[in-house]
Structure 1
Amino acid sequence: MRKEAIHSNLVSVAKALDERGYNAVHQIAGYLISNDPAYISSHRGARSIIQQIDRDVIIEELVKFYLENK
């Protein structure tokens, strides 16, 4: 369930960032590295959505996904 929630949240945030003309990968990476929510637009509630799951949990799942699917 955790994977699905993270995936859903990241997809929603990426769509909102794309709609605003931002590079979603750069913005999400900036947020994950710095923990600064200013990297994420508030458009469509994206900032609130990404903060629903702890940043460390998102990073952990991304690393697991990368290592398991390499």
Structure 2
Amino acid sequence: MANESFDQTMMFQGKVDDELATSDILYTVHEALKEKGYNPINQLVGYLLSGDPAYITSHKNARSLIRRLERDDLLEELVRYYLESHKECK
């Protein structure tokens, strides 16, 4: 029966393969900054505080990659990672 298909819930699978994870973007940006001779931590902090993408090099497409992420989401990810990886250090 044709109406039976309306009683079933369909699942939608988004394209996850094409999207880079936050950690992948951070590592790529870090490496690009390091390769260009910058202090990656200082540059990332400058970007996070100001929102100015000029702190990030365009080498390896790093500037475009970092702009894919919302700064508040990036900060949330960094804090979560730090706290989870330092649980046993209390």
TM-score (norm 1): 0.89
Q: Deviations over 1:28-49 (max 9, x none)?
A: 1110111111100111111001
Other-structure match for 1:25: 41
Other-structure match for 2:66: 50
Query: Given the alignment, which residue of 7, 14, 17 partners 2:30?
Result: 14
CA RMSD of aligned residues (A): 1.5
CA distance in 2, matches of 1:19, 1:68: 29
Aligned-partner residue type, residue 23 of structure 2: H
* Identity across matched positions, percent: 50
CA distance in 2, matches of 1:69, 1:16: 25
CA distance in 1, matches of 2:22, 2:56: 16
Unaligned 5+ residue runs, structure 1?
Answer: none
Other-structure match for 2:51: 35
Unaligned 5+ residue runs, structure 2?
Answer: 1-15
Structure scoring higher RCO (CA < 8 A, sep ≥ 6) equals 1
Q: What is the number of residues matched between the two proteins?
A: 68
**Which runs of 4 or more aligned residues in structure 1 lie more than 6 Å from their structure 2 counterparts after TM superposition?**
none
